[in-house]
Amino acid sequence: MTAKCTCRSQSWYIVFISFLVWFTLFYLYSSSITFGKKGDSFLGNNQTGFVASTEYLYDVAIDETGTNSSHVKDVEDDVKKPVDETENKTKPIKFYNDRDIDVDRLLASLMPHNNEIETFKTISSKLLEEELRNAKDYNRGRRGRAGRTRRRSKIKPAAALASFIGQNVVKPESISSPCLGRFVFIHDIPRKFNQDLLDNCQSLNVWTNMCESSLNLGLGSSLPSKENLYSKTGWFSTNQFLLEVIFHNRMKQYKCLTNDPSLAAAIYIPYYAGLDVGRYLWDPLGFRRDRDAAELVEWLAGRPEWTKMWGRDHFMVAGRTNWDFRRDPENVSDWGNGLLNFPESKNMTMLVIESSPWNNNDFAIPYPTYFHPSKDDNVFQWQNRMRRLKRRLLFSFAGARRPNRDESIGNEIIDQCLASRKKCRFLECDDQSQRCYKPDNLMKLFQSSVFCLQPPGDSYTGRSIFDSILAGCIPVFFHPGSAYVQYIWHFPRDYTKYSVLIPASAVKSGDANIEKLLQRIPREKRAAMRDEVVKLIPNVIYADPASKLETIEDAFDLTVKGVLDRVETIRKQMKDSKEVNSEFAEQESWKYFTFGRVGGHEWDPFFSSKLGKHGT
């Protein structure tokens, strides 16, 4: 009686483990089937993280008499062949570790730490050895009841796993993890470069209350629910300068973190560069702006992690435009600090909300919007809603007149908008009323417009590009520097699918009538473009760092991918002893990074002269 009871509880254990292993095998298979072979991703990008693994798993069948017979499943061909008895008793299953999120999640659920290799060791030493013991008992039990067992060669995954470990053919630590090539190490920098800044939030900005903005992991305070404008959850009054805090908090949730810098594909520096310089931008004492930034890069360059690739695997996020970090080193009264011009920074990948077309160390990532969903469903629902909205206005513009700026086309655009009467609405952004900084006003405007004008202002880009995409409004650009050569990891290459480009010079000269040009776009074409814009919504939102999206890749995910790709390219160049970035002249960075090649381009005139450096 007692013996039987023990036996039964053992069986339950085995049923549970079997389920788990079946689950694993199923997902590994289905991943190969769904995503193709050799780790191709559906984005056609196989440089990073899609480890074409040739590691082997063994799938051993145990027949009813308890002798071992084997089946081979070669996932690559998806063919089952019986084993040649003269060969090894077990034959390898090839499986590819695609970027299958479900595998990640499955592994993640088994793992106490983020470091998966570490965890594989833990599994092997604990769970699997125990499993082997159980499987032995199980086989013993089965042998006694051989007559009653079902058909031959029914695969018992638990036992299969046991033999796989028991035979010790594959060392668990050599099994490639889906994170291989994607591990990120978060550098442990002194607090003064991040947390201390937040702790002193009241002194961060002369104009805005950054304490309120830094609530909710950097998302800001929740927006009051307004059913006609927002979905029920996930809306925050987000300040664009908090991007580096949001990014840091997202990074803490990244599924392939490692504590071991030697395993890392890239090293993230959680420096709040924009919050730092933001304190001093208007400070007459220029040297203060550089002080902390200079101290940080010096600290970095003195760390052992630096020497491995001379910082070329390091990256950081600065939540302002690059122009705030590119002070002319010769000129103390120039704008901003010199963070991006330090020799150390030239080796790192610097992420900013607007990059310089003429420099090769900075890459643009989306400005944060007001929407930070915590569930996939919230995103899908929002997309459906934006697709179906009735939009009364043909186009709209939120901006301000700039009396002293001749090169700006803002004034022409405002005049054209006002002249269009009911077809266009102009939301005036004057400093007093702060109308333009109120999410309600902007979201309402963008949700009622088919097209949203996005001319360059103080700089090429602006947050409203992303707010308008979020609202399903087709952006109209006047300069390729406003998006196409900026957000290369987030926007599709074919810009005509989701946006309109009207050259600023044509507006300035009076040749372009915006209303007529937009009116000429047929209804079906507009609908197709809006569909593309709505499809872009996931790419431009930063999910709530307090939770995790399941299948959607948001702006953060695409950014990490872009960084890992870039570091991988550089790593190869260094391995081949090539000079990094030597394939193009630095001032042609915009062209090389956007199109992968240099040489004459129709956009050359747009980039022949530099836009002035201006702050916000």
Ligand X SMILES: *[C@@H]1O[C@H](CO)[C@@H](O)[C@H](O)[C@H]1NC(C)=O
Q: List contacts with ligand X (CB under 6 A).
A: 44-47, 66-68, 87-88, 163, 166-167, 301, 310-311, 331, 333-335, 343-344, 347, 580
* Residue (122 or 581) nearer to ligand X, CB: 581
Smallest separation, CB 261 to ligand X (Å): 16
Element (H, E) at 184: strand 184-186
Closest CB to ligand X among 167 and 616? 167
Q: Pick the closest to residue 70 from 78, 81, 79 (CA basis).
A: 81
Among the listed residues 347, 345, 489, 467, the one whose alpha carbon sits nearest the alpha carbon of residue 398: 467
Using CA atoms of 251, 254, 256, 259 in order, give the dihedral in degrees to the nearest 10. 40
SS3 229: coil
> Which of residues 47 and 231 has its CB atom nearest to ligand X in the complex?
47
Q: Give the shortest CB-311-to-ligand X separation in angstroms.
A: 5
Least distance from ligand X to the Cβ atom of residue 62, Å: 7
How many Cα atoms are found within 13 Å in the side-chain-facing hemisphere of 270?
Answer: 22
Residue among 160 and 394 whose Cβ is closer to ligand X: 160
Closest distance of CB 17 from ligand X, Å: 17
Looking at beta carbons only, is 72 or 465 nearer to ligand X? 72
Tally of CA atoms within 13 A in the half-sphere of 47 that contains its CB:
15
408 token code pair? 């700006």
| 500 vs 560 by CB, closer to ligand X | 560
Question: Would you state the torsion angle of the CA atoms of residues 350, 352, 358, 360, taken in this order, to the nearest 10 degrees?
Answer: 20
When the beta carbons of 332 and 527 are compared against ligand X, the nearer one is 332
Instruction: Report the SS3 class of residue 283.
Output: coil
- Determine the Cα–Cα distance for residues 82 and 250; give it in Å rounded to an integer: 48
H or E element, residue 362: strand 362-364
**Closer residue to ligand X (CB): 136 or 291:** 136
CB of 415 to ligand X, least distance (A): 30
Let me know how long the chain is.
616
Q: Which is nearer to ligand X, 48 or 213 (CB)?
A: 48
Q: Which is nearer to ligand X, 63 or 544 (CB)?
A: 63
SS3 563: helix
Least CB distance to ligand X at residue 46 (A): 4
CB of 466 to ligand X, least distance (A): 27
Q: For residue 312, with 0-12 CB atoms within 10 Å meaning exposed, 13-18 middle and 19 or more buried, which class applies? A: buried
Pick between residue 138 and residue 426 the one whose CB is nearest to ligand X.
138
CA 517 – CA 500 distance, rounded (Å): 10
**Cα-based distances in Å from 36 to 28, 55, 210, 326:** 12, 17, 47, 44
Residue 587 Cβ, how far from ligand X at the closest point, in Å? Answer: 19
CA distance 103 to 189: 32
CB of 255 to ligand X, least distance (A): 23
Q: How far is the CB of 610 from ligand X (least distance, A)?
A: 13
Residue 382 CA to residue 143 CA, distance in Å, equals 58
What b/e readout covers 34-57, taking b as 16+ CB neighbours within 10 angstroms?
ebeeebbbeeeebebbbbebebbb
Q: What is the DSSP string of 319-354?
A: EEEGGGG---TT-TTSSS--GGGSHHHHHSEEEEEE
Of 443, 470, 450, the closest CA to residue 525 belongs to: 450
The letter for the amino acid at 166 is G
Distance of closest approach, residue 7 Cβ to ligand X, in angstroms: 19
Q: Based on CB atoms, which residue is closest to ligand X, 306 or 446?
A: 306
Least distance in angstroms from the C-beta of 167 to ligand X: 5
Q: Dihedral through CA 506, CA 508, CA 514, CA 517, nearest 10?
A: -10
* Contact by Cβ (8 Å): 116, 256: yes
Integer-rounded Cα Rg, in Å, for the chain is: 28
**Helices and strands in the chain: count of H runs, count of E runs:** 22, 15
C-beta of 390: minimal distance to ligand X in Å? 40
| Contact of 21 with 159, CB cutoff 8 Å | no
- For residue 581, which phi and psi values (nearest 5 degrees)? 65, 20
The pair of three-digit structure tokens given for residue 419, joined into one six-digit string:
């002249």
Specify the residue, 91 or 490, whose C-beta has the smaller distance to ligand X.
91
Q: How far is the CB of 301 from ligand X (least distance, A)?
A: 5
Distance in Å, CB of 49 to ligand X, minimum: 12
Closer to ligand X by CB, 224 or 343: give it: 343
Q: How far apart are CA 70 and CA 60, in angstroms?
A: 5
Q: Which is nearer to ligand X, 331 or 608 (CB)?
A: 331
